[in-house]
């Protein structure tokens, strides 16, 4: 049963509240595994709408969590969340950073299980504080210094809540089961694996993910067939040497900074792979304690990527070899810690086609791009892999939006009219799948 | 006139107060250009003893100050000093970090001008907080987190105050003029140049400096003829590139971290110099903003040294070339800022011999080492150079002390019985010079 | 008109002579721009068959030649060629290394112009001299030390001569014009550009190139639709510094070896490009004159590649920047010389399909692979680009062959039964095109 | 007994023959361990003068030989030597490169044993062939391409023969025993160790070595007290990886060139040593086989030095660690081969003073420099160490000479009038020692 007109009307009614919610989230950004306020807000809203709400260890496999902040940091952020209005009822369930939320609603008629995934976390970026940056000018810039929604997840979450409401409003017309996944820690690609390994998508027939902007930098453009999710691994390398006075006894030191510099250069020189794209980035290097001391400590934060899991594994193996031998070269110790990962993956072609048909039927997009190369990593790939392995289908929508500045820029901002387009296309796609519209 | 017995007695009377003062200073460490509390305490004490006290712009040439903290930091530290009991009368004269203190006393009889220099600043080190560290066990560990007296300047300053008192007590027996220089910012070799360029030693016939421990790691050992002061230059290099998404568009970034790593490796590969010792150290490298972002910023803190000013200049020129070309290689900008420097220099042989004679006569040292190679940098060399240029003589005493751990170590501590030995040898040497004892 | 049966018969009659010719060429390998004996042999054979033969400056644009050996080397190789039986009549036309040969035959009936391209040059590799290497065991191993046919061009040339003979034997049945291009200097991608710029393919409607083995390492396999020709640039960088005694005065040298090493590492660290494959290789580094001398000279031989001309240009620009700044870093001069290049390029899809049809019809291949990613560079791309620009079509065949060892290995050898398959498919394809078989 | 006048006269009579011999040797340079013609000429001359002559395994300990050329090279050079007039009687004793020669003469009166050491080998340098180079202009330039006397050893050897003759002419006036050591392979510091370990100086009371030019670049200047012989180690590192096509499969190669470049940069970054001078030089790097092949081979020729044996050992240990870990980093194998070494060492002060007295008495030098810092390595240090260990004394003379170009330069040439000065001072010094002149 096609409900396009109803959806259009409902979405437009929700337009303003969606923008308001997005700005509220933008105002209170929370980074990976600390989305206490955001998740509590989502849980409250879903609960009010009538969804069964799961959170904490119900939806997060602790064994699959990586890159979790220390307990003291988690405690500080929990406290901040509650000071900023988070419902303690939910926050208390999210101990250890288990900030995922799952809303489930079974419609009366039987039908397929459809999952929609929205990511909630912010970036660790200091937001621009000038009037040329709209969030600043209009008063919804980050209250949490050092954190910023610079990737649009504030938009994703508020669209997810709008979709949640539309589905409930139309519940009598719908079949099957809807699962709304609000995921933490997409930045650093950490959250999806922990939710997928908890088994929450094992019964899912169709799963959809989406992103605002990225390659589609114009409002009104849409891509349904996304290729080139790069597999990725994130890790830290901590080098520990021996300090020494740089003037009086340089030969007695063990130089961790030089080991790290040597590693960095040689990491970037790992050979390209003939079977597809590879990437390496040492994003952060912090080393040394004083100008006149042979540096005894160094920390590298790096990531590898590959067009396939194999290529990424090649990069990981080479990178770890480089790091370990650079440490040996300078006589220092090194400890490598895994901080996150995402699989590579491919959209299910049949589902991508179906989404294109739906989007064309709606007639709200100026352009529907046939295929789009993601060229980066998204841990949605873990959900894709898990659903596809169980016989389901997975696809990802890239929803165009005019941008003020690129993703992860301190001036990032997007055209909020894209929120309505996103709400419409995601709601309609979900309903088409639930109701088996061909 | 020889006053050895009187000096011995006076010094022993001051032993306990000297240790108490040292521990008080250890408890309240202040780093370069922020020694407000320390300097105010010195000024109060000298003033009480009857010295003419100069501070602030009277004794510091602003144009020769390098590596001064930002105004906001200076303000914070001023406030902290006053909260910790500093006399605002003095602190208010020390605006802009001009924390040097000069005590002058003209004795009735005419005679030579003798200067003694004591350094006051602490290191930027987090002090060990375990019971195996005596300052911690006995309750005088650093109250100012991130700062620590790990180089013995707390001892130098308290010895200076004991000497000041002995000279006053014996003032009727003395000739000439005494200048007691309490210098800030020896770490980073910044303070001496600024005081010397203000002209405060231009009328000095003899100047003495001293250090506890270092090459003489045993209480009861003394060296009067110190060679091998290494000339040194300190500078920072700030690289600025362009960020980019490390997965989606790595080729559009300008990688400041790679530029800095490349510079670091090649800095350490600058050829050795055939004419004498050279040194290079990149002590600190901080770069990057996020694991998945091509790093757009990097900061190197480095230093060069050389057995002569020429060798150091060679190192500086090569180092700056390496830094600039590494920046060009990666298409990033770089700004190099000078942060401090010390001249090379040599002890005046005649004065060193005289000090040896004095020390032997006292009979309080177990061993007097003929010569000692400093092998590091000390900005006392600026005073040496200035005094020698005006026809005076300069020498430096290395006063042995048993150590708990090496200088600049978070467990650094020294045998406090060395303070009395230092007080005695410095007082006697000064008096011999003032009174022209042969 | 389909002449498949006639072609099959003729090719089988030529099988033995083709193998004999291949072994004769293998026995006398000649590297880029010195293929005097090979080219003279081709010219003699084509001439005997009745082709109009062009060589030397008729077919090579001197201005587009790169990486030509010095005159003295050319002279030595000319002499060697004549000592090994080359016809001086041809050799004398090939002055300056202009060793290309073009055979032209206009059939009586009008029709399209079809060009076939065969490459003739050997590699600069010392051939294995053990009995496990068939060319050695059977007595046709390289007579010219340091040179070896390790890429199968000996096979390509002998197949070209067999095709030439088949076409002449069937001349009365054929229409249009055939142009047989025997190209020098494919290794180092230098010859095609110089022949294409002379205009010899400007009138061509269809051009075919082919390679034995490479990705198709099994006799009986064929690929007609080849993608992924990588654009490439080859260049040399010569660093010139100042020598010095490494013990007595290291600081007075200018170290070309360190500049080259620094360049090498940073060249390999040039960021990957998000739009497609890139490559960099420093294949050769020779530097220094003596162990105890600061090295004053260094030579790098390197190449870049890219999936598109744009990506290759990005790599070239970055590489040249790295080389120049590494030289500046070490105070040495550097001279960069271009040594060859190939365009990227794509097979004409329509022609590739037509070749697939022809190959299927013949029924001599066990497997016809739909598409094959070349993943390397071939200067056939210059002919492709030129023909396509003038409105013609271009395609490339990868003809499978079992290999004894990989291309460019000193044990390289291939299954000679592939020569007959190559002769058949190339002859038939050419005749289909000349006779417009659909 | 002082024989100064006799020595002066005899030396002047030998002036022309000494120059003639030097030019003959210059015309026929032979590098380390292949000095067959030179050594045979020395042996013939000493033998004719009445010396007992030892050569081959009598004077060279095979176990202590390093960096010996391969048998085929030795055979070629032996043949060349005989073609150039070497006496086969001697050459046949020098199998395996044992080209040292020892001449012994016991004078009738008893007295001390005095050894004089002269080195014979040439450099591996292509001599300049222009008329501005005197050896070329006057027809005695190198006949052996690639070899050149660019360090003055041709002069040393001819001086040694003149001294040999003077001592014999004055034999009736002399006491004790003279040992004339003509050493091979000083370049690369290989020969002295092999002769010293054979025990030839174990009975020596005084040993003298000498060098023309070097730090004393003016004829008429002399230094007798030489300090700063740097200990040194020479070694080769051969890296072996795996080749691969740089375009088609770069990830399958193991890159020996990158390993070598990485090693090189990090070798030069080994920390300076606080106890004295250190040096490192990678003098030669040869790697790779073709521009488009991942390089599977690389050869480094390097050396370390140190002011003391300890410092040199520190450099060697660090260098080997860097080389091995760089190989591991790139997954390649590496083989390190020792190629030579020299001890550090110090002149015996008493003997140096005695030589100064002798030289002053002669009155033939314009200037006698008090001390001279060698700042490089000389394997004469092995003889010094051995003689000093057995209770003898050792010293080294630096005999000034005007130079056309620096040592190891292809235009190197020296003022031949220095040969007479050298003959005089060495003869007189030897005779003073034999005859115990005080």
Q: Which of B251, B271, B321 sits opposite C274 (nearest CB)?
A: B251
3-state secondary structure of C146: coil
Q: How many CB atoms lie within 10 A of CB A356?
A: 19
What is the side-by-side order of every strand in the sheet holding A367-369?
A: A52-55, A101-106, A175-183, A109-119, A206-212, A393-399, A221-223, A367-369
For CA atoms A116, A122, A128, A131, give the dihedral sign.
positive
Topology classification of domain A4-229+344-434: Aminopeptidase (3.40.630)
Q: How many CB atoms lie within 10 A of CB B217?
A: 15
Q: Which of C245, C290, C301 sits opposite D291 (nearest CB)?
A: C301
Note whether A255 contacts D271, CB cutoff 8 Å: yes
- Residues paired with residue A342 on neighbouring β-strands, in sequence order: A232
**pLDDT given at position C416:** 97
Note whether A322 contacts D331, CB cutoff 8 Å: no
Q: How confident is the model at residue B308 (pLDDT cuts 50, 70, 90)?
A: confident
3-state secondary structure of A105: strand
Q: Which of C260, C264, C303 sits opposite D292 (nearest CB)?
A: C303
Distances (CA, A) of A162 to A7, A42, A425, C169: 11, 11, 12, 78
Q: Is D131 on the interface with A (CB under 8 A)?
A: no
Q: How confident is the model at residue B416 (pLDDT cuts 50, 70, 90)?
A: very high
Q: What residues in C contact A266, CB-CB < 8 Å?
A: 265
- Alpha helix segments (H runs only) across B205-308: 256-268
Query: Which value, in Å, is the radius of gyration of the alpha carbons in chain C?
Result: 23
Q: Are D283 and C292 in contact (CB under 8 A)?
A: yes
Q: Is D283 on the interface with B (CB under 8 A)?
A: no
Q: Are C143 and C28 in contact (CB under 8 A)?
A: yes
**pLDDT given at position B437:** 82
Distances (CA, A) of A282 to B150, B261, B290, B383, C377: 34, 11, 9, 45, 31
- Quote the crossing angle between the two packed helices A256-268 and B256-268, to the nearest 10°: 120
Q: Are D203 and D140 in contact (CB under 8 A)?
A: no
State the average pLDDT for chain B.
94
Interface of B with D in 59-78 (CB under 8 A): none
Residue to substitute from A228, A275, A277, interface C, most C β-carbons within 10 A: A277
Q: Is D381 on the interface with C (CB under 8 A)?
A: no
**pLDDT given at position D215:** 79
Instruction: Look at the block and give the residue holding tokens 């001569």.
Output: C161
- Quote the crossing angle between the two packed helices D71-83 and D36-49, to the nearest 10°: 50
Note whether B247 contacts A230, CB cutoff 8 Å: yes
Rounded to a whole number, what is the distance in Å from the CA of C402 to chain A's nearest CA?
22
Q: Which of A247, A251, A266 sits opposite D329 (nearest CB)?
A: A266
Distances (CA, A) of B78 to B97, B182, C33, D377: 9, 18, 78, 57
Q: What residues in D contact A258, CB-CB < 8 Å?
A: 266, 269
**pLDDT given at position B62:** 95
**Architecture of the domain made up of B4-228+344-434:** 3-Layer(aba) Sandwich (3.40)
Note whether D279 contacts B268, CB cutoff 8 Å: no
**pLDDT given at position D377:** 85
- Quote the crossing angle between the two packed helices B256-268 and C256-268, to the nearest 10°: 150
Residues 6+ apart with CB under 8 A from C300: C236, C237, C239, C260, C263, C264, C282, C284, C285, C323
Tokens representing C88 are 């001086």
Residues 6+ apart with CB under 8 A from B18: B158, B159, B161, B162, B419, B420, B423
Tokens representing C300 are 């790098």
Q: What residues in D contact B271, CB-CB < 8 Å?
A: 268
Helix, strand, coil share (%) of chain A residues, nearest 5: 40, 25, 35
Q: Are C49 and C164 in contact (CB under 8 A)?
A: yes
Q: How many CB atoms lie within 10 A of CB A320?
A: 17
- Return the residue of A nearest to C278 by Cα: A272
Q: What residues in A contact C375, CB-CB < 8 Å?
A: 274
Say if residue A292's pLDDT is above 80. Answer: yes
Q: Which of C265, C284, C408 sits opposite D262 (nearest CB)?
A: C265
Note whether C329 contacts B329, CB cutoff 8 Å: yes
Among residues D214, D226, D148, D94, which one has the least CA distance to residue D411? D148
Could you tell me which CATH number the domain at C4-230+344-434 has? 3.40.630.10
First-last CA distance in chain B: 10
- Judging by DSSP bridges, how do beta strands C231-240 and C297-306 pair with one another? antiparallel
Q: How many CB atoms lie within 10 A of CB B434?
A: 25
**pLDDT given at position A172:** 96
Q: Is C279 on the interface with A (CB under 8 A)?
A: yes
Residues 6+ apart with CB under 8 A from B350: B393
Mean pLDDT of all residues in B337-359 = 90
Rounded to a whole number, what is the distance in Å from the CA of B251 to chain C's nearest CA?
5
Q: Which of A251, A271, A328 sits opposite D274 (nearest CB)?
A: A251
Q: What residue ranges of chain C have pLDDT lower than 50? A: none
3-state secondary structure of A11: helix
Distances (CA, A) of C415 to C16, C18, C135, C220, C410: 14, 13, 12, 11, 16
pLDDT per position in chain D (438 positions), as tens?
689 999 999 999 999 999 999 999 999 999 999 999 999 999 999 999 999 999 999 999 999 999 999 999 999 999 999 999 999 999 999 999 999 999 999 999 999 999 999 999 999 988 999 999 999 999 999 999 999 999 999 999 999 999 999 999 999 999 999 999 999 999 988 999 999 999 999 999 999 999 998 878 899 999 999 887 899 999 999 999 999 889 888 999 999 999 999 999 999 999 999 888 999 999 999 999 989 899 999 999 999 999 888 999 999 999 999 999 999 999 999 999 999 888 888 889 899 999 999 999 999 999 999 888 887 888 999 999 999 999 999 999 999 999 998 888 889 999 999 999 999 999 999 999 999 887
Mean pLDDT of all residues in B346-350 = 87
Q: How confident is the model at residue B376 (pLDDT cuts 50, 70, 90)?
A: confident
Note whether D274 contacts A329, CB cutoff 8 Å: no
Q: Is C272 on the interface with A (CB under 8 A)?
A: yes
3-state secondary structure of B287: strand
Phi, psi of B129 (to 5 degrees): -125, 50
Distance (Å, whole) CA D283 – CA D234: 10
- Judging by DSSP bridges, how do beta strands C393-399 and B372-376 pair with one another? unpaired
Rounded to a whole number, what is the distance in Å from the CA of C281 to chain A's nearest CA?
9
Domain ranges of chain C: 4-230+344-434, 231-341
Q: Is B357 on the interface with D (CB under 8 A)?
A: no
**pLDDT given at position A275:** 86
3-state secondary structure of B213: coil
What would the DSSP string read from start to end of D160-202?
HHHHHHHHHHTGGG-EEEEEEEEES-TTTT-HHHHHHTTTTTT
Note whether B288 contacts A293, CB cutoff 8 Å: no
DSSP state letter for A136: H
Among residues B267, B269, B261, B255, which one has the least CA distance to residue B297? B255
- Residues paired with residue B293 on neighbouring β-strands, in sequence order: B245
3-state secondary structure of C240: strand
Residue to substitute from A126, A248, A337, interface B, most B β-carbons within 10 A: A248
Could you tell me which CATH number the domain at D231-342 has? 3.30.70.360
Mean pLDDT of all residues in A404-415 = 91
Distance (Å, whole) CA C416 – CA A143: 75
Distance (Å, whole) CA C239 – CA B61: 47
- Judging by DSSP bridges, how do beta strands C101-106 and A278-287 pair with one another? unpaired
Say if residue B346's pLDDT is above 90. Answer: no
Note whether B279 contacts D269, CB cutoff 8 Å: no
Residue to substitute from C227, C232, C254, C283, interface D, most D β-carbons within 10 A: C283
Q: What residues in D contact B279, CB-CB < 8 Å?
A: 272
Distance (Å, whole) CA D69 – CA A241: 42
Q: Are B271 and B317 in contact (CB under 8 A)?
A: no
Distance (Å, whole) CA C346 – CA C394: 8
Q: What residues in D contact C188, CB-CB < 8 Å?
A: 291-292
Q: Is A375 on the interface with C (CB under 8 A)?
A: yes
Helices H / strands E in chain C, number of each: 12, 16
Q: Is D370 on the interface with B (CB under 8 A)?
A: no
3-state secondary structure of A76: helix
Is residue B181 within a helix (H) or strand (E), and if so which, with residue range? strand B175-183
What would the DSSP string read from start to end of A98-138?
---EEEEEE-SEEEEEEEEEEE--BBS-PPP-STTSHHHHT
Q: Express each pLDDT in B159-207 by its tens digit.
A: 999 999 999 999 999 999 999 999 999 998 899 999 999 999 999 999 9
Tokens representing B232 are 């040194």
Note whether C281 contacts D250, CB cutoff 8 Å: yes
**Architecture of the domain made up of A231-341:** 2-Layer Sandwich (3.30)
Distance (Å, whole) CA C288 – CA C260: 11
Distance (Å, whole) CA A332 – CA A15: 57
Q: What residues in D contact B228, CB-CB < 8 Å?
A: none
Cβ density class C43-55: b for 16+ within 10 Å, e for less? bbbbbebebebbb
- Judging by DSSP bridges, how do beta strands A52-55 and A101-106 pair with one another? antiparallel
Say if residue A304's pLDDT is above 80. Answer: yes
Q: Express each pLDDT in B59-73 by its tens digit.
A: 999 999 999 999 999
Helices H / strands E in chain A, number of each: 12, 16
Note whether B271 contacts D274, CB cutoff 8 Å: no
First-last CA distance in chain A: 10
Write down the ipTM of this complex: 0.77
3-state secondary structure of A54: strand
């Amino acid at each position: 049963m096609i409900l396009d007109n109803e959806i259009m009307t409902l979405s437009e009614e929700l337009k303003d509240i969606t923008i308001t919610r997005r700005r509220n989230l933008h105002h209170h950004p929370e980074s990976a595994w600390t989305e206490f306020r955001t998740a509590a807000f989502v849980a409250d809203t879903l609960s009010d709408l009538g969804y069964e709400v799961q959170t904490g260890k119900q939806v997060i496999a602790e064994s699959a969590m990586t890159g979790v902040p220390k307990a003291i940091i988690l405690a500080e952020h929990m406290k901040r969340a509650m000071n900023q209005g988070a419902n303690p009822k939910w926050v208390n369930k999210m101990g250890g950073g288990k900030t995922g939320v799952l809303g489930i609603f079974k419609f009366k008629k039987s039908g397929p299980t459809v999952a929609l995934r929205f990511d909630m976390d912010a970036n660790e970026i200091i937001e621009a504080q000038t009037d040329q940056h709209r969030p600043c000018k209009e008063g919804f810039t980050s209250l949490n210094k050092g954190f910023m929604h610079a990737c649009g997840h504030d938009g994703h979450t508020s669209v997810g809540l709008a979709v949640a409401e539309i589905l409930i409003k139309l519940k009598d017309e719908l079949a099957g089961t809807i699962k709304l996944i609000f995921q933490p820690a997409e930045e650093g690609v950490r959250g999806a694996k922990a939710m997928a390994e908890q088994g929450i998508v094992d019964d899912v027939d169709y799963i959809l993910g989406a992103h605002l902007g990225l390659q589609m930098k114009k409002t009104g453009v849409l891509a349904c067939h996304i290729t080139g999710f790069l597999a990725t691994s994130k890790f830290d390398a901590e080098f520990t040497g021996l300090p020494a006075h740089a003037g009086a006894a340089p030969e007695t030191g063990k130089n961790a900074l030089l080991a790290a510099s040597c590693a960095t250069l040689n990491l970037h020189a790992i050979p390209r792979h003939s079977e597809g794209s590879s990437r390496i980035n040492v994003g952060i290097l912090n080393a040394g304690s004083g100008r006149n001391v042979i540096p005894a400590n160094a920390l590298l934060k790096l990531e590898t990527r590959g067009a396939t899991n194999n290529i990424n594994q090649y990069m990981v193996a080479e990178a770890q070899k480089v790091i370990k031998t650079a440490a040996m070269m300078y006589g220092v110790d090194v400890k490598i810690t895994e901080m996150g990962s995402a699989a590579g993956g491919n959209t299910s072609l049949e589902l991508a086609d179906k989404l294109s048909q739906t989007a064309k039927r709606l007639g709200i997009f100026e352009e529907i791009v046939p295929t789009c190369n993601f060229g980066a990593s998204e841990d949605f790939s873990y959900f894709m892999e898990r659903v596809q392995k169980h016989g389901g289908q997975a696809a990802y929508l890239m929803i165009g939006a005019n941008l003020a500045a690129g993703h992860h820029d301190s001036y990032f901002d997007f055209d909020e009219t894209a929120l309505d387009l996103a709400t419409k296309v995601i709601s309609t796609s979900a309903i088409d799948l639930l109701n088996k519209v061909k």
